[in-house]
Amino acid sequence: MANTNSLLEAKPPWGKEDQTWAVRQRQQFEVEQLLYAYVEYIDDDLLEELPQLFTEDGSYQVISKENVDRGLPAPTMGCNNRNMLIDRIISLRNANIFSEHAYRHVLSNVRVKAVEGDELLVQSNYVVTATRNDGIARVYSTGKYVDRIVFEDGSPKFKQKRVIFDTHLIDTLLVRPL
């Protein structure tokens, strides 16, 4: 049985060498919290909180499963660093014009697939419904997140986030992070 104190004190990053049950539980908890914060900030329209979940050089890419399967590089939304993600949010708030809609994510299947040095490779499933001002909730997009998560000052952050959407038909437009 792991010593409770040592579990609480265990500090990231955790390497391949240390994949004890306690460590794995802790990893699962941390990555889930990061992912839940990510979707909560989008759904509750707290977009300005989103960039802090990324490292400064953290990339964010929304790309269709079709393009990934065919080995094609062009994403729908591609932020090469955190500043570009900030620009997306500022543009949404101040420049872009679109009809009202609210997202609600359902997230599941969160799994740490690998630990590569400092990075946790994490995959999860999402379904996003969008409710427009007609009040009807429709499935807007479903797919998976394939993320590389690292720890900065003890907090988990996305170093690379890829939203790979199965629903490769974008319904009308995509302006909000997915």
Partner 1 sequence: MSTEVPHAEKPAQALRVPYKAFTERDYLELEQDRIFHGKVWAYVALEAEIPEPGDYKSTYVGLSPVIVTRAEDGSVHVMENRCAHRGALVCEKRHGNASSLQCVYHQWDYNLKGELNGVPFLRGVRGKGGMCKPFDKSQHGLTKLRVATLNGIVFASYSEEVEPLEEYLGPVAVEIIKRNCRRPLKLLGFQRQRIHSNWKLAAENSRDPYHAGLLHLFLNTFGLWRNTSETASISLDETGRHCLLRTETHADEEAAEHADQAQHAYNPDFALRDASVVQSRREFDDNINLVVLSVFPNLVVHQLGNALSTRHVIPISENEFEMVWTQFGFVDDDEELEQLRITQGNLIGPSGYVSLEDGDAMERVQRSVTHDEDTKSFMGMVDQNTRSMDYFATENPIASFWRYYQEVMGLDSEFDIPGQDLAAAGSR
Q: Which residues bind partner 1 (CB under 8 A)?
A: 62-64, 66-67, 70, 72-78, 80-81, 83-84, 86-87, 90-91, 94-99, 168-175
Measured from the CB atom, the residue of 122 and 128 that comes closer to partner 1 is 128
Shorter beta-carbon distance to partner 1: residue 24 or 168: 168
Contact 108, 124 (CB under 8 A): yes
List alpha helices for 44-168, DSSP H.
65-69, 82-94
Please list, in sequence order, all residues whose beta carbon lies within 8 angstroms of the beta carbon of residue 108, skipping any fewer than 6 positions away: 124, 125, 126
Q: Name the DSSP class of 74.
A: -
Q: How far is the CB of 108 from partner 1 (least distance, A)?
A: 25
Q: Which is nearer to partner 1, 26 or 65 (CB)?
A: 65
Nearer to partner 1, 52 or 91 (CB): 91
Please state the closest distance from residue 60 (CB atom) to partner 1, in A.
11
Pairing of strands 54-64, 119-132: unpaired
Dihedral sign of CA atoms 96, 124, 122, 38 in order: positive
Three-class secondary structure of residue 145 per DSSP: strand
CB of 27 to partner 1, least distance (A): 31
Question: Nearest approach, Cβ of 141 to partner 1 (angstroms)?
Answer: 11
| Residue 13 vs 78, nearer CB to partner 1 | 78
Going from the C-alpha of 144 to that of each of 38, 58, 147, 178, the distances in angstroms are 14, 18, 10, 10
Taking the complex as a whole, how short is the minimal distance between the CB of residue 42 and partner 1, in angstroms? 14
